[in-house]
Amino acid sequence: MKSSILTEDHRLGLGGVAIGTAFENITDQESYEILKAAWDQRIRYYDTSPWYGLTRSERRFGSFLKEKDRDDFVFSTKIGRLFTEVPESEVPPTMWKNPLNYDFRHDYTGDAVKRSIEDSLQRTGLQHIDIVYVHDLSEDQVGDRYPYFLEQAKKGAFKVLSGLRDQGVIKAWGMGVNKIEPILDCIEAADPDICLSATQYSILEHEDAVDRLLPAVKKAGVKLVSGAGYNSGYIAGRERYNYKDIIPKGMAEKRSRIAEIAKKYNTDIVHAALHFVLASDEFVSIIPGAGRPEQVKDNKEGLNAVIPSEFWNELKSEGLIYEKAPIPK
């Protein structure tokens, strides 16, 4: 199996968006407490990106993890943007509440991949990176330049990453995107091992992925990691959906009804959302972010929770889960 790097021990990981100050200005000390809580809960898969906080998240992960035995955890980061230090007045507007002083540009050439990996190793202080994701090569991020950047990646990033994997420099690579099409395009053009699928598959929204993504990755022998499996906090009660303030029509009612049924079976919608994602054989890990140590602990409790089959049957009978979607056995 291609992506055996992520085992049963890595079914729950920690994502680095919140630690990059996506939703609030988390301090260095607060990020340390979150990472320590994850380590203490025996979470051993950590994912970040230089994009998160304009390199802030990557530095924070590295500061914590470089003190650990490198064989004890799996670490992934991303390529696709190159960063240049700039004066504070020139930092571009982004979603980050407290980014570092960097500007960036998208670049998916082979040379950019090598430089990006070198920069990530320098920022984190780690000896190697296990998984490299090609980040945000997707229309929602690069707009109508998607065909141009995809062609650039086919000639550059995809080939270089396969070469680095074959040389043993990295252990696996794939796409890290918010849309289905780029994963399908990558599978057609190259030989990825594992893809980070964000905002495509959750208990609230999964029909398109069930029909198109899951069969394609299964056929290609590619595994998936779930990013934004809680729709960037919406499932946990936040009024944001997939990193935006616009909530899709009908979603509030759907969330409310699933939460109501969960309560009936002595569980909650967050724990159910975690189990729903991992019920698919294609998903080997889910990596929710955390803004507080308590969220990390709750995710671990959720992983170990027992949810009765009657709960899933009721969701299906009410049409709250797509009839073809895998559910926990």
- Is 328 within the bounds of a domain? no
Asked if residue 2 is part of any domain, the answer here is no
Is pTM beyond 0.95? Reply is: yes
Instruction: Say how far apart CA 114 and CA 169 lie, in whole Å.
Output: 11
200 is a domain residue? yes
Active site residue 47: yes
The pair of structure tokens assigned to 199 is 């905002």
Residue 324 lies in a domain: no
| 243 carries an active-site annotation | no
Q: Are strands 172-177 and 81-85 parallel, antiparallel or unpaired?
A: unpaired
* CATH, residue 239: 3.20.20.100
Catalytic residue among 45, 46, 47, 171, which? Answer: 47
Q: Which residue is catalytic, options 9, 32, 45, 52?
A: 52
In tens, the pLDDT along 273-325 reads: 999 999 999 999 999 999 999 999 999 999 999 999 999 999 999 999 999 99
Give the tens place of pLDDT for each residue, 33-72: 999 999 999 999 999 999 999 999 999 999 999 999 999 9
Q: Is residue 34 part of a domain?
A: yes
Residue 142 — very low, low, confident or very high, per pLDDT cuts 50/70/90?
A: very high
User: Which residue among 45, 46, 78, 193 is the active-site one?
Assistant: 78
Q: Are strands 102-106 and 81-85 parallel, antiparallel or unpaired?
A: antiparallel
Domain count, the chain: 1
| Nearby residues of 229 by Cβ (< 8 Å), 6 or more positions away | 201, 202, 273, 274, 277, 286, 287, 288
Confidence of residue 329 (pLDDT cuts 50, 70, 90): confident
Active site residue 241: no
Taking the CA atoms of the chain, what radius of gyration do you get in angstroms? 19
User: Residue 313 belongs to what domain range?
Assistant: 8-318
